[in-house]
């Protein structure tokens, strides 16, 4: 990232002068800078709350909520409103000053904790506190990885908070970790450990939200969702906040206005509590990035509860409403704090004056495969695996985006063997959830668990399968992880999976730009993180050639990943050239021969399963 500015919001590098806004997220450099300043003062107040806890003093729920909402406000494509962000900076500084007065020991507070500039100083200060304020590339990379993970965690906490669910341990960790990103005494090793700890609390945060959602609305269940339209005017609701969904359905009942979901709000249809509303018609459109054409054709007003907002066209800007952490200049914002009722009467009256949605597609899509539903089908799923009807599961969670390179995921899904099942969550599903992929013995080949935060369900399912099959290692499951990343919630999902011990996760279409080469090396060597190739390359990578896979299964005493390199070489001298060919050029070193094959592959950045296939294939000749 030398001589380039890195954008906090869209996670892309731009030219020397700052963010060029080349169609990626649409924020002006001024707004991007103000968001950097909001992050900075949020780290400062988190340093103060952490010190207060160390002194045995209580931090109020209101302060926890303020910090959580601050982070959520800065998440990708959530808020573009400079005035709204500046207002949060002012509120944070005021709250921080009050908290500092409660500290017994004010020594060693950082500039982020002490700075209390006025509005006229915001732009100048923002220019000094952005991502590149940390000069060491590796430290900067790790701090950003942690910060992005915490921003994802803040989203899950905020949704749980809206349902009056809090976890003091999660809040205290989030603030403690933010404060540690200011600590110049922490080196790479400590920050790597903090990264993994962020994953641990990511799991806790997702579990908190899962419990909040299911307690309020029931467990998601298999549901067919209409993707056509009715004849009445409608409101289109997008984002992730199910409490906003509930309030809108309650207030539109009996008004003659229908409600449709868009993008990440699709999984609302899976919850039993929402099925009683007959005016809850279906899902309109696709992933977030298609909204410019789909919002135009919807004709009625749109309510954005969270990210992802694309800067609206003038043709529908007057119909775009925001609430919660979302915001856009010139668009009506509907207020309402946690625990308060929101008044959606204005958007409802607006809808009554609009034409019904223009139909853009017809039919149904099936979803609702969160952990409770899949575990209810456990006998059928396990039976299909044991019979060989299902050979592998492919986790294809994550985010969609507009780049043509993301068509890879559509092509990849189409190319998958017919004996595989996709486990998905997040808007990445829109690349393949409308494909005719069929089913296996009545089990659909695309199992949609829900929103990005419902990636928790995918982890629960994997852990349950590990238990059912009596495996010691989650990585021994027949599961491939091929995840599309875009924004911060995908980062916390990744860190949560790493905490759970999942290895060999593939990320695409490219590895995150904020990761330095050395940080990438750590992720590769310790966790087997890798990018993606072409669909053809990855099909062979993940599944191999059918005859080679069959031969591996039939070999008696086949080589396993926990065998020592020395033992493998003693089995057959013809295996040495294979190891040399894949890049293990240190076979003559005695210490290398005492490594397991899995450890050796990890050090060299190789996929152990590919090496195993090559070795076991040699044994069958």
Judge whether 103 and 55 are in contact, CB under 8 Å: yes
Contacts of 7 (CB under 8 A, 6+ apart): 13, 14, 19, 24, 25, 27, 32
pTM: 0.84
Alpha carbon distance 310, 80 (integer Å): 10
Q: Could you give the 3-state DSSP secondary structure of residue 201?
A: helix
| Phi-psi sector, 544: left (phi>0), alpha (psi -120 to 50), beta | left
Residue at token pair 């590796």: 138
Is 10 a residue whose pLDDT tops 70?
no
Quick: pLDDT tens for 133-164. 888 999 999 999 999 999 999 999 999 999 99
Is 583 a residue whose pLDDT tops 90?
no
pLDDT at 131: 84
Which ranges constitute the DSSP H helices of 130-257?
Answer: 137-162, 168-180, 188-217, 242-252
Quick: pLDDT tens for 512-542. 888 999 999 999 999 999 999 999 999 999 9
Average pLDDT over residues 396-402: 91
Alpha carbon distance 551, 539 (integer Å): 18
Could you tell me the two tokens for 574?
A: 């013809």
**pLDDT tier for residue 17 given thresholds of 50, 70 and 90:** very low
Using a 10 angstrom Cβ sphere, with 0-12 exposed, 13-18 middle and 19 or more buried, the burial of residue 283 is: buried
Q: How large a percentage of the chain has pLDDT more than 70? A: 91
Judge whether 474 and 527 are in contact, CB under 8 Å: no
| Closest by CA position to 490, among listed 160, 202, 175, 123 | 202
Contacts of 499 (CB under 8 A, 6+ apart): 196, 197, 199, 200, 202, 203
Is 488 a residue whose pLDDT tops 50?
yes
**pLDDT tier for residue 617 given thresholds of 50, 70 and 90:** confident
Could you tell me the two tokens for 342?
A: 């929101």
| Closest by CA position to 575, among listed 589, 550, 558, 553 | 558
Buried b (16+ CB within 10 A) or exposed e, 177-208: bbbbbbeeebebeebbebbebbbebbbbbbbb
**pLDDT tier for residue 187 given thresholds of 50, 70 and 90:** very high
pLDDT at 594: 52
Query: Which segments of 339-412 are extended strands (E)?
Result: 364-367, 392-395
pLDDT at 599: 73
Is 52 a residue whose pLDDT tops 70?
yes
Task: Share the mean pLDDT of the chain.
Answer: 90
pLDDT at 372: 96
């Amino acid at each position: 990232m030398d001589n380039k500015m890195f954008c906090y919001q869209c996670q892309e590098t731009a030219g020397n002068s700052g963010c060029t806004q080349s169609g990626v997220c649409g924020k002006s450099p001024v707004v991007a800078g103000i968001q950097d300043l909001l992050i900075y003062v949020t780290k400062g107040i988190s340093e103060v709350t952490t010190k207060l806890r160390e002194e045995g003093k209580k931090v109020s729920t209101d302060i926890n909520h303020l910090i959580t909402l601050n982070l959520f406000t800065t998440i990708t494509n959530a808020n573009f409103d400079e005035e709204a962000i500046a207002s949060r900076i002012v509120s944070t500084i005021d709250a921080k000053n009050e908290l500092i007065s409660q500290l017994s020991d004010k020594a060693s507070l950082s500039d982020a904790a002490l700075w209390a500039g006025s509005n006229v100083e915001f732009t100048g200060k923002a220019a000094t506190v952005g991502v590149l304020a940390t000069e060491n590339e590796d430290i900067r990379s790790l701090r950003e990885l942690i910060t992005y993970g915490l921003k994802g965690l803040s989203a899950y906490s905020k949704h749980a908070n809206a349902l009056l669910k809090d976890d003091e341990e999660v809040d205290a960790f989030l603030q403690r970790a933010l404060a540690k990103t200011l600590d110049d005494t922490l080196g790479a090793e400590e920050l790597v450990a903090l990264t993994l700890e962020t994953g641990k609390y990511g799991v806790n945060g997702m579990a908190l939200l899962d419990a909040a959602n299911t307690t309020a609305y029931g467990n998601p269940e298999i549901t067919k969702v209409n993707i056509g339209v009715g004849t009445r005017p409608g409101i289109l609701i997008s984002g992730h906040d199910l409490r906003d969904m509930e309030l809108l359905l309650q207030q539109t009942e009996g008004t003659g206005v229908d409600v449709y979901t868009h993008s990440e709000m699709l999984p609302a249809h899976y919850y039993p509590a929402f099925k009683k509303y007959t005016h809850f018609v279906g899902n309109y459109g696709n992933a977030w990035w298609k909204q410019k054409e789909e919002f135009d054709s919807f004709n009625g007003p749109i309510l954005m509860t969270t990210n992802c907002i694309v800067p609206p066209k003038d043709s529908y800007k007057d119909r775009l409403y925001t609430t919660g952490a979302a915001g856009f200049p010139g668009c009506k914002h509907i207020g309402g704090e946690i625990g308060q009722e929101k008044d959606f009467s204005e958007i409802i009256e607006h809808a009554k004056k609009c034409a019904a949605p223009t139909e853009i597609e017809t039919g149904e899509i099936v979803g609702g495969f969160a952990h409770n539903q899949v575990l209810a089908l456990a006998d059928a799923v396990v039976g299909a695996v044991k019979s060989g009807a299902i050979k592998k599961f492919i986790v294809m969670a994550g985010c969609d985006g507009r780049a043509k390179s993301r068509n890879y995921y559509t092509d990849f899904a189409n190319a998958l063997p017919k004996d595989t099942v996709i486990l998905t969550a997040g808007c990445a599903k829109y690349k393949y959830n409308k494909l005719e992929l069929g089913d296996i013995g009545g089990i659909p080949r695309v199992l949609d668990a829900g929103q990005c935060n419902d990636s928790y369900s995918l982890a629960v399912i994997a852990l349950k399968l590990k238990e059912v099959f009596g495996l010691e290692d989650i990585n021994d499951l027949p599961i491939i992880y091929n995840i599309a990343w875009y924004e911060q919630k995908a980062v916390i999902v990744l860190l949560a999976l790493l905490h759970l011990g999942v290895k060999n996760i593939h990320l695409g279409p490219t590895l995150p730009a904020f990761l330095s080469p050395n940080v990438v090396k750590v992720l590769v060597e310790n966790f087997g993180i890798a990018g993606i190739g072409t669909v053809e390359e990855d099909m062979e990578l993940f599944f191999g050639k059918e005859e080679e896979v069959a031969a591996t299964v039939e070999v008696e005493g086949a080589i396993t990943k926990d065998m020592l390199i020395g033992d493998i070489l003693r089995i057959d001298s013809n295996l040495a050239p294979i190891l040399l060919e894949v890049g293990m050029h240190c076979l003559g070193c005695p210490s290398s021969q005492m490594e397991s094959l899995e450890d050796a592959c990890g050090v060299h950045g190789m996929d152990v399963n590919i090496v195993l296939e090559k070795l076991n294939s040699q044994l069958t000749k």
